[in-house]
């Protein structure tokens, strides 16, 4: 007899030991020595399958129902045989996609559907509740039995600690302890894809204790209380000859259907119970561990079951055939025979079985709740926080406690009235509902989101109705009439005899109906609907995960306005904390191409996006991760773009044959090579006709002026009527129809033509089938791709048409690329020409102005654009005389520049014969009037001649602004004026010539209207006055300095660096 305190103390010590082991495992991991790399640890951890249901329940079942306990282990043994194919595939996928739970797995496979993740999570929660309740019940009952074996009813732990209120029963304390335990192990870090080494190590140790305890009690009973197996059987049959049916099947208690159902259920449960998935897939260290587990795990189960029958029979013999306490024979047998310490060991085994299951399940379910219910909610509500990571981990901890307590409440409300075994099978049945979606998703690309969602919902509805409702009825929650009369008294709706199906046990019955609905919906909807492109891509990633030559699909994407690396890191930090984000990104960048500016190469950005998504998925689940990233990118205005259309429409790539794919791929290569359009088109056509043996392939593009389709490229037979002819656009021809309606026109058999206009030519040429598909750019047709065959009918299957359309899409791209290229070339060419013009023009202005003793001259011409219409010149004459010319041609374009050049040529050519300013202007006017149509261009000019020895300035004007003259002696500014009209208006214009003497210090300023008409922000002109004032103050500056000063002042005045109009200044200062 052991006191309750001792039991409690030892239990707590045991839990402490588990904690130490877990802690040690985590430490080892940090040192890089993972305990999980030992494959036997993996096998042992998998034995979490064997819960207290097995530990206590197997004996109970063997005693009451005989061999019925076996299928629960035979099923998984059979399933383990397939692991190298099925499980390995699941593991590979999960590692690649950072999948952390079964909800994540299903959601990821079906287009990362958030809804599907939530559904699986909710169902798992419901499904797991009875199972957790079962564990709590087992621990609580055994604790009571152990501490008060003789007290009936058991007093419970509450009696031990009298201060506690009466509601706090043993189960409550057990719940609390297990919940805390799960919290400590399962949610120390947030990243659930990071393996919980500590948790797994603890579970493995628990499995070992389970086995040792059970083997100990088995050996004790078989060889201690009895004389071996044979002795037990012998004595049992001697005592209870009528119980021979325990070892028979096909009996009323265990019909073969039930046997089969149990095997099937347990096969599915071992794969799809959330906690199994977690240990098997998420926590695995290395694929090769699967191999050892394939025989290791079944061997464990075999050993665990080796003594079930002897213990059960022994218990029956010693208890006089009473089965009421059969579930606890393993405890009562050693207790009643005076071996309390053995009973304590068994209790610890049972505790291990329960604790392991509760811990892992709660962690798993809490992760699922966190990833598939909480995160989407947070995202949906648009809660903005600087740093989520702290809150998320606490939510997860709360989730773990929450899940354990859900089990507790289930136990309090329903559990007491129901046998252990039924509760376990209810959970198994729930897990079985995941099977179609997962297995179908692994092997069938066509399976899609809608199908999986509907299948799951139907399956669970049936599960609820045929299993949970009866269990509610039995615990008194619901009126029993629903079992007898059906829902609303409808006989067909009896939960246990649905649609009149009777004669089956409730599990076979439920299995049949739930899976029938589940699978039918799944298959039918998958069959009649197509997956979206992104879903098809996911499907491919799942189904083909083990294929060595995985398709290159989806790699040809790029992100427009891509975020920088730091922005991705910031985004991650928000959800997973800064440190983890930095660690993650460092790992990613380690082996990436970094370009010269220290950024990622363009083609790496999508990888970085995928990496960010995967990393986030490890913390928050696949569906939320996708939503986070997409929201983020869309708010930035970034989006994923197809680089080439080639695998953009995945519908083709997964339906099409290898040959077709290779054509698409080659075509993409041709387009990408960027050869000239004609060559690209020719090559695509020859590819098409060579691969598929067409007699003629034609590409036509629309010529907008004539609205006809003009042949751009042709491959195959040359017929005047066919390839080379243009096509008018109307609905009477197939090609016109294809173009105008923007839909591919296919005729698979030319014996059936409905367009007489086309029929004549087609039949004459012996065409048997053909198709026209529009070449579409941004939704608008720009041309038509056509293919004709003379030999075969029916080439154009749906798949082939898809390929054909895809090729047309690629041609459209090539066409667009070419257009853009041409446009760029044109712009480039123009710019080059302008540059040449600019160079020429600036070379026309005098490169250097003379520095003489008597005077200094400086000039500047600033065109508003590359070229302008302003002009100034310096022309030496006989002796020391020289001419200064300033002219302004309206406009700043090529025309202005040409006239300016013309003017200069004229002046230089005629300078010798025309010696006076007025003569020069007169001749120029004549020249402009005769030779140029100056209707839209005007030329003004001011012509100055200065002879230093005479100190006389002669000048004439052709409608030009009045130059300013600073007279040093009189200290005033005089505008110079002379009568004269703008050039080219009238044939004969009299140009007045004036002259004025200049003295030392006088300054002449010639300018164009660009200066005085320079505007400030309020629209005010710079004006003559300001210019005059500047000149007034410039007495002691050189000519060059005066120009600079004027330019500076004008710039300050306008506030602009560049001018709207050309500006030209010439300054002449008299030095002596």
CB of 689 to another protein, least distance (A): 36
Nearest Cα to Cα of residue 135 among 463, 437, 361, 460 = 361
In the complex with another protein, the residue whose CB is nearer, 263 or 958, is: 263
CB of 333 to another protein, least distance (A): 20
In the complex with another protein, the residue whose CB is nearer, 81 or 341, is: 81
Written as six digits, the tokens of 863 are 């065109």
**DSSP state letter for 960:** P
Written as six digits, the tokens of 36 are 């999980």
CB of 54 to another protein, least distance (A): 15
In the complex with another protein, the residue whose CB is nearer, 88 or 609, is: 88
Q: Cα–Cα–Cα angle for 480, 486, 488, nearest 5°?
A: 100
Whole-angstrom distance, CA of residue 821 vs CA of residue 634: 29
Of the candidate spans 3-11, 286-294, 416-424, 733-741, the one that interacts with another protein by CB under 8 A turns out to be 286-294
CB of 299 to another protein, least distance (A): 5
Asked if 337 and 225 count as a contact pair (C-beta separation under 8 A), the reply is yes
Written as six digits, the tokens of 727 are 């096509």
Whole-angstrom distance, CA of residue 316 vs CA of residue 312: 6
85 counts as binding another protein under rule CB under 8 A: yes
Whole-angstrom distance, CA of residue 554 vs CA of residue 365: 32
CB of 257 to another protein, least distance (A): 8
Asked if 309 and 62 count as a contact pair (C-beta separation under 8 A), the reply is yes
In the complex with another protein, the residue whose CB is nearer, 309 or 571, is: 309
CB of 269 to another protein, least distance (A): 16
Among 23, 24, 240, 260, binds another protein (CB under 8 A): 260
Among 77, 94, 207, 471, binds another protein (CB under 8 A): 77
Residue 788 burial by Cβ neighbours in a 10 Å radius (0-12, 13-18, 19+): buried
Of the candidate spans 167-175, 269-277, 289-297, 817-825, the one that interacts with another protein by CB under 8 A turns out to be 289-297
In residues, how long is the chain? Answer: 1072
Written as six digits, the tokens of 756 are 């007489």
- Give per-residue burial for 111-140: e unless 16+ CB within 10 Å, then b: bbbbebbbbbbbbbbbbbbbbbbbbbbbbb
> Which residues in the 296-335 window bind another protein by CB under 8 A?
298-299, 302, 306, 309
In the complex with another protein, the residue whose CB is nearer, 234 or 793, is: 234
Block residue for tokens 């499904």: 127
CB of 492 to another protein, least distance (A): 29
CB of 288 to another protein, least distance (A): 9
- Give per-residue burial for 292-322: e unless 16+ CB within 10 Å, then b: ebbebbbebbeebbbbbbbbbbbbbbbbeee
For residue 568, the tally of other CB atoms under 10 A from its CB is 25
Whole-angstrom distance, CA of residue 903 vs CA of residue 849: 19
x/- map, 514-533, another protein, by CB under 8 A: --------------------
Among 27, 30, 33, 291, binds another protein (CB under 8 A): 291
Whole-angstrom distance, CA of residue 291 vs CA of residue 52: 27
Whole-angstrom distance, CA of residue 495 vs CA of residue 484: 9
CB of 49 to another protein, least distance (A): 16
In the complex with another protein, the residue whose CB is nearer, 246 or 907, is: 246
In the complex with another protein, the residue whose CB is nearer, 250 or 587, is: 250
In the complex with another protein, the residue whose CB is nearer, 82 or 657, is: 82
Whole-angstrom distance, CA of residue 527 vs CA of residue 572: 39
CB of 234 to another protein, least distance (A): 6
Among 9, 13, 30, 82, binds another protein (CB under 8 A): 82
In the complex with another protein, the residue whose CB is nearer, 32 or 241, is: 241
In the complex with another protein, the residue whose CB is nearer, 244 or 828, is: 244
x/- map, 200-239, another protein, by CB under 8 A: -----------------------------xx--xx--x--
In the complex with another protein, the residue whose CB is nearer, 62 or 934, is: 62
Among 250, 390, 674, 794, binds another protein (CB under 8 A): 250
CB of 305 to another protein, least distance (A): 8
- Give per-residue burial for 166-191: e unless 16+ CB within 10 Å, then b: eeebbbbbbbebbbebbbbbbbebbb
CB of 635 to another protein, least distance (A): 42
List the end-to-end C-alpha distance of the chain, in Å, as a whole number. Answer: 133
> Which residues in the 46-75 window bind another protein by CB under 8 A?
67, 70-71, 74
Among 384, 547, 561, 969, binds another protein (CB under 8 A): 547
Among 247, 512, 874, 1053, binds another protein (CB under 8 A): 247
Among 155, 188, 189, 292, binds another protein (CB under 8 A): 292
Q: How many helices (H) and strands (E) does the chain have?
A: 40, 18
CB of 452 to another protein, least distance (A): 23
Strands (DSSP E) contained in 72-130 are none
Written as six digits, the tokens of 588 are 């990613």
State the residues that interact with another protein by CB under 8 A: 67, 70-71, 74, 77-78, 80-82, 84-85, 89, 229-230, 233-234, 237, 244, 247-250, 256, 259-260, 263, 291-292, 294-295, 298-299, 302, 306, 309, 546-548
């Amino acid at each position: 007899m052991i006191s309750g305190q001792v039991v409690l103390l030892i239990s707590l010590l045991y839990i402490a030991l588990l904690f130490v082991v877990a802690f040690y495992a985590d430490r080892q991991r940090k040192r890089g020595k993972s305990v999980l790399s030992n494959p036997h640890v993996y096998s042992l951890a998998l034995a979490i399958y064997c819960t207290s249901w097995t530990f206590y329940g197997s004996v109970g079942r063997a005693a009451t129902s005989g061999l019925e306990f076996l299928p629960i282990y035979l099923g998984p043994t059979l399933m383990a045989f397939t692991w190298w194919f099925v499980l390995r595939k699941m593991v590979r996928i999960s590692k690649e996609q950072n999948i952390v739970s079964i909800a994540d797995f299903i959601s990821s496979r079906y287009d990362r559907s958030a809804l599907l993740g939530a559904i699986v999570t909710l169902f798992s929660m419901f499904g797991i509740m009875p199972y957790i309740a079962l564990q709590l019940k087992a621990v609580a009952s055994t604790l009571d039995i152990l501490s008060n074996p003789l007290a009936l009813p058991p007093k419970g732990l509450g009696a031990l600690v009298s201060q506690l209120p009466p509601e706090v029963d043993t189960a409550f304390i057990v719940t609390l302890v297990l919940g805390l335990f799960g919290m400590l192990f399962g949610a120390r870090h947030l990243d659930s894809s990071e393996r919980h080494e500590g948790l797994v190590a603890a579970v493995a140790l628990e499995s070992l204790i389970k086995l040792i305890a059970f083997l100990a009690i088995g050996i004790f009973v078989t060889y201690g209380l009895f004389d071996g197996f044979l002795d037990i059987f012998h004595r049992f049959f001697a005592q209870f000859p009528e119980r021979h049916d325990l070892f028979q099947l096909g009996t009323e208690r265990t019909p073969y259907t039930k046997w089969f159902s149990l095997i099937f259920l347990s096969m599915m449960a071992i794969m799809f119970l959330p906690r199994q998935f977690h240990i098997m897939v998420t926590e695995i260290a290395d694929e090769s561990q699967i191999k050892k587990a394939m025989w290791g795990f079944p061997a464990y189960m075999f050993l665990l079951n080796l003594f079930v029958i002897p213990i059960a029979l022994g218990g029956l013999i010693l208890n006089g055939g009473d089965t009421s306490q059969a579930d606890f024979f393993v405890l009562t047998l050693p207790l009643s025979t005076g071996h309390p310490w053995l009973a304590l060991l068994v209790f610890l085994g049972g505790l291990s079985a329960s604790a392991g299951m509760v811990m892992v399940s709660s962690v798993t379910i809490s992760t699922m709740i966190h990833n598939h219910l909480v995160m989407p909610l947070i995202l949906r509500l648009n809660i903005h926080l600087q740093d989520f990571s702290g809150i998320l981990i606490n939510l997860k901890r709360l989730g773990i406690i929450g899940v354990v307590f859900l089990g507790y409440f289930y136990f309090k409300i329903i559990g007491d009235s129901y046998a252990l075994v039924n509760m376990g099978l209810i959970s198994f049945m729930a897990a079985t509902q995941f099977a179609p979606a997962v297995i179908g998703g692994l092997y069938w690309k066509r399976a899609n989101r809608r199908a999986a969602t509907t299948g799951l919902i139907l399956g669970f509805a049936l599960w609820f109705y045929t299993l949970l409702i009866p269990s509610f009825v039995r615990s008194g929650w619901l009126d029993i009439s629903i079992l007898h009369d059906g829902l609303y008294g409808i006989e067909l709706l009896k939960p246990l005899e649905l649609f009149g199906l009777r004669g089956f046990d409730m599990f076979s019955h439920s299995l049949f109906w739930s899976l029938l609905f589940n699978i039918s919906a799944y298959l039918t909807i998958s069959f009649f609907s197509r997956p979206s492109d992104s879903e098809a891509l996911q499907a491919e990633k799942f189904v083909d995960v083990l294929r060595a030559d995985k398709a290159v699909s989806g790699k040809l994407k790029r992100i427009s306005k891509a975020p920088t690396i730091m922005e991705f890191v910031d985004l991650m930090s928000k959800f997973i904390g800064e440190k983890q984000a930095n660690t993650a990104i460092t790992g990613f960048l380690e082996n990436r191409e970094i370009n010269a500016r220290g950024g990622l190469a363009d083609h790496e950005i999508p990888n970085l996006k995928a990496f960010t998504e995967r990393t986030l998925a490890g913390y928050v689940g696949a569906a939320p991760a996708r939503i986070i990233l997409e929201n983020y990118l869309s708010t930035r205005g970034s989006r994923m773009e197809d680089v080439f259309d080639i695998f953009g429409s995945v519908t083709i790539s997964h339906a099409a044959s290898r040959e077709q794919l290779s054509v698409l791929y080659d075509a993409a290569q041709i387009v990408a090579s960027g050869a000239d359009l004609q060559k690209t088109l020719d090559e695509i056509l020859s590819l098409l006709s060579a691969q598929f043996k067409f007699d003629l392939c034609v590409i036509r593009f629309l010529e907008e002026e004539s609205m006809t389709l003009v042949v751009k490229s042709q491959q195959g037979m040359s017929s005047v009527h066919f390839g080379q002819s243009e096509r008018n656009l109307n609905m009477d021809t197939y090609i016109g129809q294809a173009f105008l309606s923007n839909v591919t026109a296919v005729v698979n058999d030319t014996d059936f033509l409905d367009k007489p206009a086309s029929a004549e030519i087609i039949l004459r040429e012996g065409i048997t089938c053909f198709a026209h598909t529009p070449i579409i750019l941004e939704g608008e047709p720009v041309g038509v791709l056509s293919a004709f065959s003379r030999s075969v009918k029916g080439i154009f299957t749906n798949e082939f048409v898809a390929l054909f359309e895809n090729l047309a899409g690629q041609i459209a791209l090539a066409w667009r690329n070419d257009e853009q290229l041409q446009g760029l070339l044109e712009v480039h060419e123009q710019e080059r020409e302008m540059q040449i013009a600019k160079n020429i023009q600036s070379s026309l202005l005098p490169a250097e102005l003379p520095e003489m003793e008597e005077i200094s001259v400086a000039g500047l011409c600033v065109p508003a654009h590359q070229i302008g219409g302003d002009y100034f010149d310096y022309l030496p004459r006989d002796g020391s005389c020289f001419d200064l010319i300033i002219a302004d041609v309206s406009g700043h374009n090529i025309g202005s520049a040409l006239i300016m050049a013309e003017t200069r040529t004229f002046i230089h050519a005629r300078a010798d014969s025309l010696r006076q300013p007025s003569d020069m202007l007169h001749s120029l006017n004549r020249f402009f009037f005769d030779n140029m149509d100056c209707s839209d261009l005007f030329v003004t000019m001011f012509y100055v001649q200065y002879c230093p020895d005479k100190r006389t300035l002669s000048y004439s004007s052709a409608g030009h602004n009045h130059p300013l003259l600073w007279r040093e002696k009189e200290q005033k500014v005089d505008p110079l004026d002379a009568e004269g009209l703008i050039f080219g208006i009238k044939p004969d214009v009299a140009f007045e010539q004036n002259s004025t003497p200049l003295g030392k210090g006088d300054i002449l300023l010639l300018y164009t209207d660009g200066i005085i008409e320079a505007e400030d922000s309020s629209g005010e002109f710079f004006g003559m006055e300001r210019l005059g004032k500047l000149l007034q103050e410039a007495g002691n500056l050189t000519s060059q300095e005066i120009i600079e000063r004027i330019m500076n002042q004008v710039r300050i005045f306008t506030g602009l660096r560049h001018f709207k109009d050309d500006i030209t200044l010439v300054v002449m200062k008299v030095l002596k």
